[in-house]
Amino acid sequence: MLKALMPVAVYSIGVMLKKDTFKSDTMGNMVSISIGVAIAAYGEAKFDTWGVMLQLGAVAFEATRLVMIQILLTSKALTMNVAGVVKDWLLIAFSWSVIKDTVTPVNLVGYGLAFLGVAYYNHAKLQALKANEAQKKASQAADEEAGRLLEEREGENGAKKNESQG
């Protein structure tokens, strides 16, 4: 479950390396995911502090690697990681239902909080994409209108020149 912290780590490292800009609502969302993951990890039936430390170190290194790839390839590492969290939940559901791994009520609360954080992230990202698309369309329409008005003005000026010459 600690791997679900990957979006938080990627966003934080991306901000530190100036690949992402800090936004308080995004950071609040990342904090809610962190709280959910922390609760789920703490509620783990076989909690091991050393294992948690190793996993957190692995998350930090993987997040750094992904941000470096983002710098090289200009793709969004945070989006890739949020999608990866869903895969992790499917793996947890599989291990619970098929392998009969233990899932405690505290785990479920943590998973639920992390899920809400990821859902909000996806919602906010979709709204931002819609706003950008609407802004592009409005700008495009304004450019077309300006071009049309310029053509009309040039046509009127050409007609006036012809009248004054004739």
Q: Is residue 147 part of a domain?
A: no
The answer to whether position 133 is within a domain reads no
pLDDT digits (tens, 9 = 90+) for 79-93: 666 666 666 777 777
Domain residue limits at 103: 2-121
Is residue 141 in a domain?
A: no
Average pLDDT of the chain is: 80
| Domain total in the chain | 1
Residue 108 lies in a domain: yes
Looking at the domain assignment, is residue 117 inside a domain?
Answer: yes
In-domain check, residue 40: yes
- pTM recorded for the entire structure: 0.49
How does pLDDT run across 76-131, given as a tens digit for each residue? 666 666 666 666 777 777 778 888 888 788 878 888 888 888 778 778 888 888 88
Q: Is the residue at 107 inside a domain?
A: yes
Q: Assess if residue 154 is contained within a domain.
A: no
DSSP string computed for the chain: -GGGGHHHHHHHHHHHTTSS---HHHHHHHHHHHHHHHHHHHT-TT--HHHHHHHHHHHHHHHHHHHHHHHHH---HHHHHHHHHHHHHHHHHHHHHTS-----HHHHHHHHHHHHHHHHHHHHHHHHHHHHHHHHHHHHHHHHHHHHHHHHHHHHHHHHHHHHH-
